Amino acid sequence: MLLVNFIQHIEQQFIQTDLLEWVAFVFAVLQVSLAAKNNVINFYAGIISTAFYTFLFFQIGLFAESVLNLYYFIVSVTGVLLWTKKNDKEQLPISTLRKKEWLKILLFNILVFFFLYWVLSTFTTSTVPFADAFVSSIAWAGTFLMIFRKIENWIFLTISNVFSFPLFLYKGVELTALLYILYIIIGIIGFLKWKKALTTFSENDK
């Protein structure tokens, strides 16, 4: 019975979804798929997707999500510049975080979380400020790591996506929840592919 109701909700989501959201959705899937393949074009898809999502979320009153997607938009533009060097066109190699970098990114994550939680609790009518701040702060950190091609970006993003899934179900947006299941799968695949590429780079350095 629950499965039937869930499927019916999904059908309603498909019927009610407008063109603006479909464009954002399609390019979001394209972006993460290309990122998993270590393809710089992922950022171009990200630019389109986040631009649409920034407008869409602002339009329906999800201002925190709108700002987050604006951040994604800026990161996508920056990623294009960093992943491909202007002079020799060599791409930034995949690498791992050092101990000091781990401390910095965790501190960054914590600071962003408390800031977002404070803003959501103080200035918005959010009913889930803790959960919203938690998943968003981890996503901020993961996206920041992606533009520098740090393999740990997939760990942060996948954790964020895992906790985002029940959050979106709770908020009644099943189609977006399904998107995050896809994100989780692609995140695992992306990590494994980047790990293989990282091993290849390490062997070539010997």
Helix (H, G, I), strand (E, B) or coil at 66: helix
Please tell me which of 10-19, 134-143, 177-186 the model is most confident about, judged by mean pLDDT.
Answer: 134-143
Candidates 78, 53, 82; CA nearest to 68 is 53
Using DSSP, state whether 64 is helix, strand or coil: helix
DSSP, residue by residue, 160-199: HHHHHHHHHHHTT-HHHHHHHHHHHHHHHHHHHHHHHHHH
Using the predicted structure, report yes or no on whether residue 87 has a pLDDT greater than 50.
no
Domain that holds residue 156: 2-205
Reply yes or no on whether the pLDDT at 156 is more than 70.
yes
| In the predicted structure, residue 155 carries a pLDDT above the cut 90 | yes
Residue 129 identity: P
Question: How is residue 112 written in tokens?
Answer: 């962003």
Better-scored residue on pLDDT, 194 or 6 = 194
Which residue did the predictor score with more confidence, 111 or 87?
111
C-alpha distance from residue 166 to each of 68, 119, 169, 185 (Å):
19, 22, 5, 16
Structural domain count, the chain: 1
Give the predicted TM-score (pTM) of the model. Answer: 0.76
The residue among 121 and 176 whose pLDDT is bigger is 121
Closest Cα to residue 134, out of 102, 154, 159? 159
